[in-house]
Amino acid sequence: MIRLLIFLIGIAVMVLIIRRIWQLRTSAQTKLVLLDRDGVINEDRKDFVKKISEFKFIDGSISAIKTLNQAGVKVAIITNQSAVGREIITRENLQDIHDYMQAEMELHGAKVDAIYFCADHPDSATNRRKPGTGMLEEALAYFKASPDQTHMVGDALRDLQPAKKLGIHRHLVLTGKGEKTLNDKSLQDCSPFEVHKNLQDTVAVILKDFKK
Does the annotation mark 99 as catalytic?
no
pLDDT of residue 6: 62
Is 0.95 topped by the overall pTM? no
Query: Active site residue: 38, 44, 120, 155, which one?
Result: 38
| pLDDT band at residue 9 under the 50/70/90 scheme | confident
pLDDT of residue 111: 98
Give the least confident one: 5-9, 89-93, 106-110, 200-204.
Answer: 5-9
CA distance 123 to 35: 24
Does the annotation mark 201 as catalytic?
no
| Average pLDDT, integer, range 2-11 | 64
Name the CATH topology of 31-210: Rossmann fold (3.40.50)
The answer to whether 177 and 44 have CB atoms below 8 angstroms apart is yes
Query: Active site residue: 36, 44, 155, 159, which one?
Result: 36
Q: List the chain domain ranges.
A: 1-29, 31-210
Could you report the per-residue pLDDT of 68-109, keeping only the tens digit for each? 999 999 999 999 999 999 999 999 999 999 999 999 999 999
Q: In what order do the strands lie in the sheet with 32-35?
A: 114-118, 74-80, 32-35, 150-154, 169-173, 194-196
Q: Residue 54: which region, alpha, beta or left (left: phi > 0; alpha: psi -120 to 50)?
A: alpha
More confident residue, 12 or 81: 81
Around Cβ 171, how many Cβ atoms within 10 Å?
A: 28
What is the residue-averaged pLDDT of the chain?
Answer: 92
